[in-house]
Amino acid sequence: MTRPTQQRLGAACGIVFPIAMFLAVGNGSHFTPWRAVAATWALILALPFLVYLWSLLRAAEGEGGWLPTLALAAGVSGILLKLASHAPELAIHRDGIAKGTQLYKALDNTAGAATLMSLYPLAVCCAAVAVIALRERVLPRWLGVFTAVTSVALAVNAGFVYASFVPALLVFLLWTLVTSIVLIRRTPSTQRARPHFRRPALARHPRRMSPLLVGSQLCAISSKECHQVQLAVCV
């Protein structure tokens, strides 16, 4: 697999992740097994996108920079926290816990708290990406500004600890989709034109070298050596 193909796959994962996540979750009122599986796989696909984005940021920042690693660690932490929020919801429906009971409320609130906690590291991730994008111009300037706005939205939404709705997560999904589209459009083609260097005719056909040409070259070399010897004697 060529490097441009790997880059396109990383960006493609960032496109599939928000679309599949949005379609799987829906309005959140109905639970079906396929929705749970699709939402889980959508979050898994966010990991290759984050690693691909980290590679671009690291190349732009340089070996001594730590912001790309911060963006990767924070992004992965946020995705893992969001993945953890699926466990209580899955337990509710697997065990058939009746809605309105104390156990149902406890598990449902646990899932909501894990989703809210995921906003904190995701805000740090977007903040680190925004700093590098605006400073190193690894992304378009308008996208760097959008990344900063997404970071602020995530941080503000995370401050409402009793909120049952997280609109900033939708903003993050939109940012991921837009960033992935920009990156996949900027990925070089998988077929790169290789430069063709033509060797001189004498190098390509050594047996066709004329004897007269060989003799003249030897004479030129010998005369040059004689001239150097004469200069050495005079000195």
CB atoms within 10 A of CB 197: 5
- Supply 19's token pair: 């679309």
**Stated pTM of the model:** 0.76
Per-residue pLDDT tens digits for 27-58: 666 778 888 899 999 999 999 999 999 999 99
Of residues 223 and 122, the one with the higher pLDDT is: 122
First to last CA, the chain: 65
Residue indicated by tokens 């004689």: 226
Minimal CA–CA distance to 106: which of 118, 89, 93, 119?
A: 89
Query: Considering all CA atoms of the chain, what is the largest pairwise distance in Å, rounded to the nearest integer?
Result: 111
Q: Where do we find the tokens 């932490």?
A: 77
Is the pLDDT at 206 greater than 90, yes or no? no
Q: Where are the domains of the chain?
A: 3-186, 209-234
Least confident of 8-17, 56-65, 168-177, 182-191: 182-191
Residues 127-155: tens digit of each pLDDT? 999 999 999 999 999 999 999 999 999 99
- 197, pLDDT greater than 50: no
Return all residues near 20 (Cβ < 8 A) that are at least 6 apart: 38, 39, 41, 42, 45
Query: Encoding tokens for residue 210?
Result: 């004329």
Residue range 217-227, pLDDT digits in tens = 434 444 544 44
Neighbours of 88 (CB within 10 A): 18
How far is it, in rounded angstroms, from Cα 105 to Cα 100?
7
